[in-house]
Amino acid sequence: MKERILQIVSEAKQSIASADSLDKLNDIRNLYLSKKSELMSFMSHMKELSKEEKAAFGQLINTSKNDINAALESKKEELAKKALEEKLEKEKIDITLTPRNYLRGSKHLFTTIVDEISDIFTSMGYQIVEGPEKETDHFNFELLNVPKDHPARDMQDTFFIDDNNLLRSQTSPVQARVMLSKHGVGPIKIISPGKVYRRDDDATHSHQFGQIEGLVIDKNVSLGDLLGTLELFAKKMFGEKRKIRMRSSYFPFTEPSVEVDISCFECGGKGCSLCKGTGWIEILGAGMVHPHVLEMCGFDNKVYQGFAFGIGIERTAMLKFGVDDIRRFYTNDLRFLKQFDKE
């Protein structure tokens, strides 16, 4: 009997060792350890044995049972571990793979132009200053020589928040803000890019657009300085061969006021559809700071002079890249934006 029991244990251990699934392990457990198993059936012989034999036999059955159980448990653990490893292997994510359909963003044309213009002026020693988009009537108009009921207000009708607060119609109020912050002591040499708002909406005008204001205040500043500055800007922005010309114009806050044209970069000045046959393209408004504006903003106009200019951001980009409609800047059509992805 004892030999048979030891044989059963060794048989059981062999089948456990070769089992390759938890199901098979369960079958083996039933075969060797259930009540009806051969091993357990030996229990019924207990009563035929003497007291001493009973103890030894009981112990043998118990250790055999424990041996088989231990083998089953360790195999079970081994199989579970293997199953987990296989699962992890199958579900592995390779984080070094580049994701497909990866869409990279790029600078908006508007930002590219602001950066380009800013670079040109900072290289000439200008500082960049920002002003608020929500302005007061006082800064947007009155300090710029446009009192209430002045006809120049018509050209810049904007969005009023109440009688005194509005969305600025130009970046020019930054001139007044900077001058007042200097308490009459120059020099000042700034540009100020930002958004402005007007009651406009067509292919070349939008209710929201960008401007870059420029202001220089110092002793002995002349129209010649303005001309030289803008000529350099035109060449850097539109090509070394560009010439500029000034035509007299009117802005309430400058005297004299000028409209600045560049020689057409499409036809070189011969006349084409871009320059409407004139050979010249208007790029910005400028002038010498009006003595009254200097005075209102705390500067002695007998000691200080200055020049100012205002550049349209979208207009510059439209000219440079042949964009036909200002609204393309705001509709976020990727086919448009991608054309200016230089990165």
Which residue ranges make up the site for ligand DAH (CB under 6 A)?
A: 170, 172, 213, 251, 254, 285-287, 308-310
**CB–CB of 44/98 below 8 Å?**
no
Smaller CB distance to ligand DAH: residue 64 or 172? 172
CB of 270 to ligand DAH, least distance (A): 29
CB of 124 to ligand DAH, least distance (A): 16
Smaller CB distance to ligand DAH: residue 279 or 312? 312
**CB–CB of 241/268 below 8 Å?**
yes
Smaller CB distance to ligand DAH: residue 11 or 282? 282
CB of 213 to ligand DAH, least distance (A): 5
CB of 184 to ligand DAH, least distance (A): 20
Smaller CB distance to ligand DAH: residue 67 or 200? 200
Residues 218 and 309: their CA atoms lie apart, in Å, by 15
Which residue is it, tokens 């089953």? 72
Smaller CB distance to ligand DAH: residue 87 or 247? 247
Contacts of residue 316, defined as CB under 8 A and 6 or more positions apart, other chains included, come to 113, 117, 237, 283
Residues 341 and 334: their CA atoms lie apart, in Å, by 10
Amino acid at the residue 264: C
Listing DSSP states for 242-257 in one string gives --EEEEEE--TTEEEE
Beta bridge pairs of residue 205: 202
CB of 253 to ligand DAH, least distance (A): 7
Smaller CB distance to ligand DAH: residue 68 or 188? 188
Burial 275-302 (b: 16+ CB within 10 A, else e): beeebbbbbbbbbbbbbebbebbebebe
- The sign of the CA dihedral 316, 119, 168, 177 is negative
Smaller CB distance to ligand DAH: residue 64 or 211? 211
Which residue is it, tokens 């030894």? 56
**CB–CB of 291/316 below 8 Å?**
no
Residues 20 and 75: their CA atoms lie apart, in Å, by 9
- CA-to-CA dists, residue 22 to 25, 29, 74, 109, 310, angstroms: 5, 10, 12, 64, 81
What length does the chain have? 343
CB of 283 to ligand DAH, least distance (A): 12
CB of 326 to ligand DAH, least distance (A): 15
Smaller CB distance to ligand DAH: residue 210 or 279? 210
Question: Which two tokens mark 157?
Answer: 């009708």
CB of 306 to ligand DAH, least distance (A): 10
Closest to 61 measured CA to CA, from 44, 80, 76: 44
Smaller CB distance to ligand DAH: residue 71 or 286? 286
CB of 211 to ligand DAH, least distance (A): 6
